[in-house]
């Protein structure tokens, strides 16, 4: 578990706490028979902090990017299936004309 994952979990916990605080606040307002006009400022700050932490974790936790070049040695897993059973050539694309004479207007 890296730092990004731990920060992400902490961000999710902060967001969950903010949601719980909002539900509690609305319950308190119902008891006091007041109208709900919005969450308290500390809940809004919690939401923003949790959102920032989750975004930071989402951008840093996934790890390194893999190469997308077709002849790269890093991505030899990606290949065409060896079985031709799932290749379908009889589909509705055959109703389209073979050549399309489309001219672009300049």
25 located within any domain = yes
24 located within any domain = yes
Determine how many CB atoms are found less than 10 A away from the CB of residue 18: 21
Q: Is 6 or 62 the better-scoring residue by pLDDT?
A: 6
32 located within any domain = yes
Number of domains in the chain: 1
22 located within any domain = yes
**In this structure, is the dihedral angle defined by the CA atoms of residues 70, 71, 77 and 82, taken in order, positive or negative?**
positive
Residue 47: its pLDDT value, please?
Answer: 95
81 Cβ contact partners less than 8 Å away, ≥ 6 residues apart: 87
Look up the pTM and report it: 0.58
Domain extent for 30: 3-60
CA distances from 75 to 33, 63, 67, 72 (A): 62, 16, 7, 6
| Structural tokens at position 73 | 């040695």
| Structural tokens at position 32 | 């006091």
68 located within any domain = no
Q: Is the pLDDT of residue 7 over 80?
A: yes
Residue 16: its pLDDT value, please?
Answer: 96
């Amino acid at each position: 578990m890296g730092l990004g994952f731990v920060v992400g979990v902490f961000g999710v916990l902060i967001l969950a706490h903010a949601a719980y605080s909002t539900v509690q606040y609305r319950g308190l307002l119902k008891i006091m028979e007041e109208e709900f006009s919005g969450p308290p400022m500390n809940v809004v700050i919690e939401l923003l902090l949790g959102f920032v932490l989750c975004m930071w974790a989402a951008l840093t936790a996934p790890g390194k990017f893999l190469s997308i070049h077709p002849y790269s040695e890093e991505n030899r897993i990606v290949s065409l299936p060896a079985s031709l059973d799932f290749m379908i050539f009889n589909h509705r694309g055959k109703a389209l004309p073979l050549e399309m004479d489309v001219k672009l207007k300049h």
